[in-house]
Amino acid sequence: MSDTRRTGERLDTPREERRQLVRRPSYNADSFGVFAEQFARFMGTATFLIYMTLFVAVWICWNVLAPDDLRFDPFPFIFLTLMLSLQASYAAPLILLAQNRQEARDRVIAEQDRQADARAHADMEFLAREVASLRMAVGEVATRDFLRSELRSLLSDLDERADERAQSHEDGADGDAPGAP
């Protein structure tokens, strides 16, 4: 009983993990993915094609031109075919892994772009509403030409009143003169 208390296991509680007969190897998925991407990039270069071409050419030349006792793949290059198939069987999954990682990055970038576009669209709509409200407010504001015309109108009214007062003052001054008969 003290054994179960030390480990924290109880018989009435199922185990969280099942015990495996053969332990799976553990690896860092990110570092393996980086390796796969670097490998895929290298396989897409001219350098890889040149190295692979030289490898196959040396293999064929050695097994055709070398003495019979030094040839290691003499008949119809069965071992060369096996080596190329082995290389392809490792290259294909690594390239697919690199593509999957790139697709995941592209998905994240596309989501960020979509969010930035949505923010820009909202900003543009806000600015459009602001410009419209400014246009409406400017439409209600008196312009310089309107003020000038109103001031001219008031000035002409004032001139007319001043003329009328001057005329009425002159008319009243003629009738009230002390030496008049």
Range of the domain at 147: 143-172
Separation CA 135–CA 153 (nearest Å):
27
Q: Please state the separation of Cα 109 from the chain's center in Å.
A: 5
Amino acid at site 24: R
CB 63 within 8 A of CB 77: yes
Please check whether residue 6 lies inside any domain of the structure.
no
- Do residues 153 and 136 both lie within one domain? no
Do 119 and 164 lie in a common domain?
no
Is the pLDDT at 179 greater than 80? The verdict is no
In this structure, the answer to whether residues 63 and 121 fall within a common structural domain is: yes
Read off the pLDDT of residues 26-67 as tens digits, 9 standing for 90 and up: 878 888 888 888 988 898 889 999 999 999 999 999 998 888
Q: Are residues 90 and 168 in the same domain?
A: no
pLDDT per residue as tens digits for the range 133-159: 988 887 777 778 888 898 999 999 999
Quick one: 98 and 165 in the same domain?
no
Is pLDDT above 60 for 20?
Answer: yes
Name the token pair of 132.
């419209």
Query: Residue 44: inside a domain, yes or no?
Result: yes
120 with 166, same domain?
A: no
Distance CA 47, CA 52 (A): 9
- Do the beta carbons of residue 73 and residue 59 sit within 8 Å? yes
Structure tokens at 27: 């690896």
Indicate whether 76 belongs to any domain.
Answer: yes
**For the chain, how many structural domains are there in total?**
2
